[in-house]
Amino acid sequence: MIEAIQNHRSVRKFKPDAVTDDLLNEILFAGSRASTTGNMQVYSIIVTQNEELKKKLWEIHFKQNMVLEAPVILTFNADFNRFSIWCNLRKAQPGYDNFLSFITACTDALLASQNIALEAENSGLGICYLGTTTYNADKIIDVLHLPKGVVPVTTMVIGYPAEIPELTDRLPMDAIIHRELYQDYTSVNIDKIYAEREDSEMTRQLLKINNKESLAQIFTDNRYTKKDNVFFSKKYLEVIEKQGFMNNK
C-alpha cells in the first residue's frame, strides 16, 4: 500500500521549521495532477504564510492552535471564476452559476486536496483538514478576498510534525462497503460495527469526562449538534448563493 495512505494520521502540533518553496511547489503540483472534471480545473488554492493573515484564519477556525503553529495553511475553493472569465474573453457564454457547477467544483477541489495531503505526508510533513471551513466560509471569503464564483470548501494545515499520534481506529470495512445493493443496518449490524470502539478505554474515558451514557451522545450533544448544523447549513447556503452558484433557472 502507498506508505502515505497507510501511515496517515492528522497532525495538530507542528515544529516552527519552514517548508521550503521548492517543496511546497512540488506538493501543490501533485494536487494539480488529480482528476478534474473535463480537465477544467475548477478549483483554486490560497497559500497562507503571512502571520497577520494566519492570525485572522486562526480566529475564523475557532482558534485552533495548529492554525498559528503550522507554517502553511491551504484553503481549497470551488472556483468557476477563472473558467468563466476565460469563457467571457473567448466569446463563449459561461453557464456555471448554478448548484451542479458548485458540486462539480467542490469535487475538483477535494480530489486535489487529497493528492496534496498524501504528497505532503510522503515528504515527511504532517497535515490536518479543518472542517470549520464550511462553518465560516463567509469570513474566509472576506479575509482572502475571494470573488464571486469562488467558495471555500476545505482547509489544510501543513508543517513538520511535533507529534506522531497513534493511528486512528476505523470502523470494520462492512460499515462502509456494500456489495451490489445497499444493505440497510439492523441493530445487530450496528452493535457489531461499533462494538470495538464502544468497548474501548478511550470511549470509557470520554463518557466519564462528558458525563454521557453513550459515545453517540457525545457527537449529537457536544461535537456536531443539530443546532450548530442547522445554523451553519443556512449560512453556507447563503454563501453559495451570494457567490453566485444558485441561479438554477
List the interface residues with a second copy, window 204-223 (CB under 8 A).
213-217, 219-221, 223
Q: Are the beta carbons of 129 and 116 closer than 8 angstroms?
A: no
What is the DSSP-derived secondary structure letter of residue 174? G
# of chain residues touching a second copy (CB under 8 A): 119
Q: Are the beta carbons of 28 and 44 closer than 8 angstroms?
A: no
Report the nearest approach of a second copy to the CB of residue 76 (Å). 10
Q: By CB under 8 A, name the one of 17, 62, 63, 85 that touches a second copy.
A: 85
**CA 65 to CA 52: how far, in whole Å?**
15
**Segment 171 to 190, residues that bind a second copy, using CB under 8 A:** 171, 173, 175-182, 184-185, 187, 190
Q: By CB under 8 A, name the one of 37, 64, 203, 210 that touches a second copy.
A: 37
Report the nearest approach of a second copy to the CB of residue 15 (Å). 21
Report the nearest approach of a second copy to the CB of residue 117 (Å). 7
Report the nearest approach of a second copy to the CB of residue 161 (Å). 15
Bridge partners of residue 10, in order along the sequence: 127
Q: Is 124 in the site for a second copy (CB under 8 A)?
A: no
> Considering Cα of 139, then 142, then 144, then 148, what sign does the dihedral take?
positive
Among the residue ranges 55-63, 158-166, 203-211, 229-237, the one whose residues contact a second copy (CB under 8 A): 229-237
Q: CB-hemisphere CA count at 13 Å for 87?
A: 13
Residue 154 backbone phi and psi in degrees, to 5: -150, 165
Angle at 44 between CA 38 and CA 49, to 5 degrees: 155
Q: Is 115 in the site for a second copy (CB under 8 A)?
A: yes
Q: Is 236 in the site for a second copy (CB under 8 A)?
A: yes
